């Protein structure tokens, strides 16, 4: 469909004999929040690695915003608005939170081959960085060294980094992982606000969050998509219940 | 370029290869299993030579000298491991480079202080001191053949040790994934010591063996160390088999290259140009080889890591 | 005032800035006064020693950009010093002795070598990068060794120091010292600017977490390559000065042991600290000189000292002096 922001066509990947991604085809239209769920080891993160460009798929096509990006490296995809966050927090621990985010802003603000001028004092970069931090509730922590933040704050910083890039498509890999109940609710709120600004592909185990946020859900089992559909349909699907949700859902 | 000359240089290349293997084997295991870059390994080789000379001076017996040199090399290696190296496992490679660089400085200078700068000699045993006629026009020293044989023998021994014993299995597992081995309950500290000790003895053995034929002097291990690193990068870090094949390859390329580079170039360039460029090209050949291998196989020929 | 202070959390980064000026100011003041020490001792000896300090400080600064800020462990950096030196030496031997031309040649050749070898080396990482840079360094060494026309392993003596606009200004050792010091200051200010700049921030970020930098949209490769070339050229500048100062060039300038010495200077000073690189260079050159005055076996003391620093003083000497942990 011409409206699709992301289109995966028969994307496959094997590590030796292990087929982690099995001919996955998926269409995500602009503005949708699409959740990807499935049991552990289903290959959700591997799929995100391939969509974001961290690893190359063996076969298949990935088309983003009308352009084929299958051969592009991660940084090139990020520049085009295909942005990811990491399941295991990946920040710059010795930089301050503000500097972390300012670097992300810098990436879309003109050339970085500038050898003079103090980058940490550029008002436009810092201003936009503070905005992203405020969005995730980390404005107070802006000048703290990122490595000293709490786990929940680091997850927030992870999100702020992605937001600062003004993404068209946001790949969120378990943003709620390890986050406590209170912070979790706040995070759901942040994500709900985010829906208005960009398309989101969300991997999550937190079923409450998934069903609260998702427009559509895909279920990944053993590297292949078992079913894709609206939340209620997926919830009711017998195969899905057997494979993943169980009777309790 | 006669066949005899080619044969002699090939044998010399094998000899160098075998020596490089003895040094590189310990280096690659220590690096593969403990992720520890040991620049001081070349000094281990030097110590082996000096221990052999000293032991010979005391006992006048070649075989005893070699054995005592092995014991000395083992003791020195273990002392270094316990006192310094084990505190560096897990540290940045750069820290390891720096610390082991300091150890080389110390050992080279200590040897210079004790024995002086002039090179020492050790006579080879009478029975091995002749030459044997391998083919018409080709006389090759028996002792060098013994060195080649000893090196290959040790290689076979290591192969059996690494592939067919329990300790070898632990070594291979450690080279592939050390934290996992530790998590499985193996006394990783003791395993490391054993690996380190074996490596030290191998290098010391090489040093002891060459004492009768090479100059025994301070810094004698430095250049061989660089070659040994080239060997393990080509062979694949953590792989003894890789070290063996790469060592022979490097030994042959380096030796044959130095002998014949000028000759080969003379076919393409003027005589004087070939004479200038020959030695320069020859000494860079193994680095070109290393770069070429890394280009096609970035992890070396037989990488051990998963 | 009160409000601003109250709203800022304790772990602020800014206050470090003021104290960070003390070290470089002290350093440069000390160096500037060094020639006066010549009044108490044999003039040329002390001056020559401090000139050497300054020259290696320049080289160490160059390496610090690549190693400290970029995380690139180059084990062949002495090759750039050697190439810069040989550029000067070969041109002088060919009758060209204009300082600007020689300097330009030194920068151009070392820069080009850095570009060519860096482009290849930076495709690897970790220990493979260390080995490949070592290999290229060895290659340069062996080529220099085989240059029979320029002395081979005996080295090449320069007939005279280079001239500035035809005048023998550099022949005066004091002038030469201050020219070198001025270059050190220029390189230092340049390096500081680069580290703080947009470019420097990406480079440092790539050293911290390469995946995160790529996820943000930066390809680390061009940044590292540019850093490597700049770093090589600075070392080439040091090489030019070294050739001029000793009026001699030799392959011994670029052995792997010399590359190791450079790394020691950067590490001793505390990584990613430009002041530290200068301190480290001063320390290594002066210690070598002082210790060898006591005993020719000074390495037997320096070696264990190095080991102790690595084991116990992780922030290098600068960390010890200022009570802070760098690196």
How do residues C98-146 score in pLDDT, each as one tens digit? 889 999 999 999 999 999 999 988 988 888 898 889 889 988 998 898 8
Interchain proximity C209–A92, CB inside 8 Å = yes
Interchain proximity A90–C215, CB inside 8 Å = yes
Interchain proximity C214–A118, CB inside 8 Å = no
Question: Is this prediction's pTM over 0.90?
Answer: no
Residues of chain C with pLDDT > 70: what percent?
Answer: 87
* Residue at token pair 């936009």: A128
Structure-block tokens of residue C297? 């076996």
Give the integer Cα–Cα distance in Å for B292 and B289: 5
Between B148 and C322, the higher pLDDT residue: B148
From the list A202, A213, A219, the residue with the least C-alpha distance to A35 is A202
What's phi and psi for C262, nearest 5 deg?
-60, -45
Beta-carbon contacts of B110 under 8 Å, excluding residues fewer than 6 positions away, are: C300
Residue of chain C nearest A98, judged by CA positions: C13
Same domain for A157 and A203, yes or no, is: no
pLDDT at C78: 97
Question: Which residues from chain A sit within 8 angstroms of residue C214, using beta carbons?
Answer: 54, 73-75, 78
In a domain, A64, yes or no: yes
Question: Which residues from chain A sit within 8 angstroms of residue C215, using beta carbons?
Answer: 52, 74-75, 78, 83-84, 86, 90, 161
Same domain for A212 and A242, yes or no, is: yes
Question: Which residues from chain C sit within 8 angstroms of residue A93, using beta carbons?
Answer: 208-209
Which residues span the domain enclosing A160? Answer: 91-166
- Residue B291 has its nearest CB partner, among C120, C142, C309, at C120
In sequence order, what DSSP letters do the residues of B254-283 get, joined into one string? HHHHHHHHHHHHHTTS-HHHHHHHHHHHHH
What is the number of domains present in chain A? 2
Mean pLDDT calculated for residue range B65-76: 94
pLDDT at C87: 94
Same domain for A36 and A95, yes or no, is: no
A-C CB pairs within 8 A amount to: 108
Question: Which residues from chain A sit within 8 angstroms of residue C8, using beta carbons?
Answer: 143
What is the number of domains present in chain B? 1
What pLDDT band is residue C10 in, cutting at 50, 70 and 90? Answer: very low
Same domain for A159 and A173, yes or no, is: no
User: H or E segment at B81?
Assistant: helix B62-83
Sign, Cα dihedral of C88, C243, C37, C187: positive
Interchain proximity B84–C311, CB inside 8 Å = yes
- Residue C216 has its nearest CB partner, among A54, A104, A119, at A104
In a domain, A32, yes or no: yes
A partners (3+ CB pairs within 8 A) are C
Interchain proximity A74–C201, CB inside 8 Å = no
Q: Is C210 exposed, middle or buried (0-12, 13-18, 19+ CB in 10 A)?
A: middle
From the list C215, C72, C67, the residue with the least C-alpha distance to A91 is C215
Same domain for A55 and A116, yes or no, is: no
pLDDT at B234: 92
Best mutation target among B43, B99, B102 (most C Cβ atoms within 10 Å) is B102
Whether chain A lies against chain B with 3 or more Cβ pairs closer than 8 A is no
Residue A63 CA, distance from chain mean position: 17
pLDDT tens digits, one per residue of C52-92: 999 999 999 999 999 999 999 999 999 999 999 999 999 99
Residue A223 belongs to domain with CATH number: 3.40.50.300
Final residue in a domain of this structure, among A166, A193, A228:
A166
The yes-or-no verdict on residue C270 having pLDDT over 90 is: no
In a domain, A86, yes or no: no
What pLDDT band is residue C327 in, cutting at 50, 70 and 90? Answer: very low
Residues of chain B with pLDDT > 70: what percent?
Answer: 99
Interchain proximity C214–A161, CB inside 8 Å = no
Interchain proximity A75–C216, CB inside 8 Å = yes
Final residue in a domain of this structure, among A126, A146, A166:
A166
Residue B116 belongs to domain with CATH number: 1.10.3470
B partners (3+ CB pairs within 8 A) are C
Same domain for A173 and A69, yes or no, is: yes
Scan residues 23-62 of B and list those with Cβ closer than 8 Å to C.
31, 37
Give the integer Cα–Cα distance in Å for C68 and C75: 13
In a domain, A162, yes or no: yes
B-C CB pairs within 8 A amount to: 115
Give the integer Cα–Cα distance in Å for C327 and C315: 6
Same domain for A68 and A45, yes or no, is: yes
- Please count the residues of chain A: 249
Beta-carbon contacts of A85 under 8 Å, excluding residues fewer than 6 positions away, are: A158, A159, A161, A162, A170, A171, A172, A173, A175
Best mutation target among C204, C215, C221, C315 (most A Cβ atoms within 10 Å) is C215
Question: Which residues from chain C sit within 8 angstroms of residue A161, using beta carbons?
Answer: 212, 215-216
pLDDT tens digits, one per residue of B218-274: 989 988 998 999 999 899 988 888 999 999 999 999 999 888 887 878 787 777 777
In sequence order, what DSSP letters do the residues of C143-197 get, joined into one string? HHHT-GGGTGGG-EE-SS--BBTTB-GGGSHHHHHHHHHHHHHHHHHHHHHHHHS
Same domain for A172 and A200, yes or no, is: yes
From the list C132, C113, C71, C70, the residue with the least C-alpha distance to C233 is C113
Same domain for A102 and A128, yes or no, is: yes
* Mean pLDDT taken over chain C: 85
pLDDT tens digits, one per residue of A180-232: 777 778 888 888 888 888 999 999 888 888 888 999 999 998 889 888 999 98
Same domain for A2 and A66, yes or no, is: yes
Q: Is B222 part of the contact surface with chain C (CB cutoff 8 Å)?
A: yes
User: H or E segment at A240?
Assistant: helix A238-240
C partners (3+ CB pairs within 8 A) are A, B
Q: Is B63 exposed, middle or buried (0-12, 13-18, 19+ CB in 10 A)?
A: exposed
Same domain for A66 and A1, yes or no, is: yes
Same domain for A161 and A172, yes or no, is: no
């Amino acid at each position: 469909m011409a409206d699709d922001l992301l289109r995966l066509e028969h994307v496959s990947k094997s590590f030796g004999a292990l087929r982690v991604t099995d001919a996955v085809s998926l269409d995500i239209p602009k503005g949708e929040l699409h959740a990807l769920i499935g049991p552990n080891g289903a290959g959700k993160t591997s799929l995100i690695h391939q969509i974001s460009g961290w690893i190359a798929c063996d076969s298949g096509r990935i088309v983003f915003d009308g352009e084929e990006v299958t051969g592009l490296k991660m940084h090139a995809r990020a520049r085009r608005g295909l942005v990811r966050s990491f399941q295991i927090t990946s920040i710059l621990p010795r930089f301050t939170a503000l500097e972390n985010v300012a670097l992300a802003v810098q990436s879309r603000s003109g050339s970085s081959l500038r050898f003079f001028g103090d980058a940490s004092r550029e008002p436009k970069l810092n201003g936009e960085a503070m905005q992203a931090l405020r969005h995730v509730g980390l404005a107070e922590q802006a000048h703290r060294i990122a490595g000293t933040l709490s786990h929940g704050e680091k997850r927030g910083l992870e999100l702020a980094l992605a937001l600062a890039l003004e993404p068209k498509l946001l790949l969120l890999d378990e943003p709620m992982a390890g986050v406590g109940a209170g912070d979790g609710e706040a995070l759901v709120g942040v994500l709900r606000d985010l829906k208005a600004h960009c398309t989101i592909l969300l991997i999550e185990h937190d079923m409450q969050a998934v069903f609260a946020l998702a427009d559509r859900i895909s279920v990944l089992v053993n590297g292949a998509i078992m079913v894709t559909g609206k939340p209620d349909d997926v919830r009711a699907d017998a195969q899905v219940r057997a494979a993943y949700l169980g009777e309790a859902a | 370029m006669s066949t005899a000359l080619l044969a002699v240089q090939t044998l010399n290349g094998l000899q160098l290869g075998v020596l490089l293997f003895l040094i590189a084997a310990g280096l690659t295991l220590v690096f593969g299993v403990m992720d520890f870059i040991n620049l001081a390994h070349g000094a281990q080789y030097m110590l082996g030579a000096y221990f052999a000379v000293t032991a010979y001076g005391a006992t006048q017996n070649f075989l005893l000298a070699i054995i005592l040199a092995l014991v000395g090399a083992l003791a020195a290696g273990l002392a270094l491991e316990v006192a310094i190296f084990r505190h560096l496992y897990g540290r940045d490679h750069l820290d390891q480079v720096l610390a082991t660089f300091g150890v080389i400085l110390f050992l080279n200078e200590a040897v210079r202080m004790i024995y002086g700068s002039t090179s020492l000699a050790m006579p080879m045993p009478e029975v091995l001191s002749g030459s044997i006629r391998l083919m018409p026009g080709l006389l090759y020293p028996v002792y060098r053949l013994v060195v080649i044989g000893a090196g290959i023998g040790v290689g076979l021994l290591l192969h059996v040790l690494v592939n067919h014993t329990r300790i070898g299995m632990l070594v291979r597992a450690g080279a592939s994934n050390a934290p996992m081995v530790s998590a499985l309950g193996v006394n990783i500290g003791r395993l490391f010591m054993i690996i380190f000790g074996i490596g030290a003895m191998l290098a010391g053995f090489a040093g002891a063996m060459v004492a009768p034929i090479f100059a025994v002097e301070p810094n004698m291990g430095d250049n061989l160390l660089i070659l040994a690193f080239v060997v393990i990068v080509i062979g694949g870090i953590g792989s003894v088999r890789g070290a063996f094949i790469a060592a022979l390859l490097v030994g042959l390329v380096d030796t044959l290259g130095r002998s014949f580079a000028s000759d080969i170039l003379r076919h393409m360039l003027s005589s004087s140009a070939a004479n200038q460029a020959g030695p320069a090209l020859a000494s860079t050949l193994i680095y070109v080889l290393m770069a070429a291998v890394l280009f096609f196989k970035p992890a070396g020929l037989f990488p051990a890591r998963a | 005032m009160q409000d601003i202070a109250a709203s800022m959390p304790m772990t602020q980064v800014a206050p470090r800035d003021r104290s960070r000026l003390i070290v470089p100011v002290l350093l440069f003041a000390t160096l500037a006064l060094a020639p006066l020490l010549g009044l108490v001792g044999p003039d040329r000896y002390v001056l020559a020693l401090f000139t050497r300090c300054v020259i290696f400080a320049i080289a160490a600064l160059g390496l610090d950009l690549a190693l400290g800020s970029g995380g690139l462990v180059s084990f062949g950096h002495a090759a750039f010093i050697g190439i810069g030196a040989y550029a000067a030496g070969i041109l002088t031997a060919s009758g060209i002795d204009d300082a600007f031309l020689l300097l330009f040649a030194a920068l151009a050749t070392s820069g080009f070598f850095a570009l060519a070898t860096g482009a290849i080396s930076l495709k690897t990482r970790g220990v493979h990068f260390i080995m490949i840079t070592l290999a290229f360094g060895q290659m340069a060494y062996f080529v220099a060794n085989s240059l029979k026309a320029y002395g081979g392993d005996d080295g090449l003596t320069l007939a005279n120091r280079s001239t500035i606009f035809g005048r023998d200004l550099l022949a005066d050792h004091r002038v030469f010292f201050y020219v070198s010091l001025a270059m050190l200051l220029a390189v230092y200010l340049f390096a500081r600017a680069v580290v703080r700049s947009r470019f420097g921030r990406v480079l440092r970020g790539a050293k911290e977490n390469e995946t995160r930098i790529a996820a943000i949209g930066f390809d680390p490769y061009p940044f590292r390559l540019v850093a490597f070339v700049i770093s090589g050229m600075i070392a080439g500048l040091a090489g030019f000065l070294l050739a001029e100062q000793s009026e001699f060039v030799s392959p011994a300038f670029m052995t792997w042991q010399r590359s190791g010495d450079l790394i020691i200077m950067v590490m001793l000073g505390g990584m990613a600290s430009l002041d530290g690189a200068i301190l480290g260079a001063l320390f290594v050159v002066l210690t070598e000189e002082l210790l060898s005055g006591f005993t020719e076996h000074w390495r037997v003391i320096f070696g264990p000292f190095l080991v102790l620093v690595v084991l116990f003083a992780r922030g290098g000497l600068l960390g010890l002096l200022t009570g802070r942990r760098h690196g």
